[in-house]
Copies of this chain bind each other. A is one copy, B any other.
Amino acid sequence: MSYPKRVEELMEKLCKLPGIGPKSAERIVNYMLEENTESVRLLAENILSLKNDVRLCERCFNLSDDTVCSICADEKRERIVCVVEEVKDLILIEKTGFKGTYHVLGGRVSPLENVSASNLKINQLIERLNRESFTEVIIATNPTPEGENTAEYISGILKKMGVKHSRLAYGLPVGAEIEYVGVQTLKKSIEGRKTL
């Protein structure tokens, strides 16, 4: 005897979600079985409506309730585009108080994961730059080899187009101890040192 079929099926499906293993799936299903029916129903309906109600902004590919996201619709935003890999990066940059607009690539160039530049929203970025006027493009891809490659690829295009662009600074993370930051970071933070 194991769990009833419905329970086993749900555990299998939950295991496919990121960060959930068999043990967590078991705990989640047991929690749902004990929880009141109404709140479990609301969770299920929320999951269903996620795919129906949430779409990508047709300009910047941010998640949106509407055809254009609240940032693109906001006319007070500075005419700067910050290019990010994923929506979660955009959310974090928003928290810094950045007041420009964004362009979400939907990933990074990664031959190992079979993602080439054509799979990303790079052409759409070029079209936007031709159509709208921006004072600067900030390339905010991750400081990983893939993020760096993507940044270089985009930088090459922007140079040809004559568009002013920049890359996020490398350096010491705030609150870190030099002992633990790693040689490459330390090297970059020396190269990028600021005169006081």
Contacts and interface: CB of A to CB of B under 8 A. Distances in A.
Given A17-B28, A24-B18, A24-B19, A3 B91 contact: yes
B37 A43 contact: no
A135 B148 CA distance: 70
A4 interface: yes
Interface string A26-56: 1111111100010111111111111101100
B47 A47 contact: yes
A152 interface: no
A112 interface: no
Given A4-B64, A44-B45, A65-B5, A30 B86 contact: yes
A76 interface: no
> Which label, helix, strand, loop or mixed, suits the secondary structure of the A interface?
helix
A10 interface: yes
A88 B30 contact: yes
A48 B53 contact: no
Contact of A70 (B1, B39, B40): B1
B32 A51 contact: yes
A18 B3 contact: no
B32 A41 contact: no
A13 interface: yes
B88 A26 contact: yes
Contacts of A1: 69-71, 91, 94
Contact of A13 (B46, B51, B53): B46
A87 interface: yes
Contacts of A7: 50, 54, 63
A43 to B, nearest CB: 5
Interface of A: 1-7, 9-10, 13-14, 17-20, 24, 26-33, 37, 39-51, 53-54, 63-65, 69-71, 86-88, 91, 94
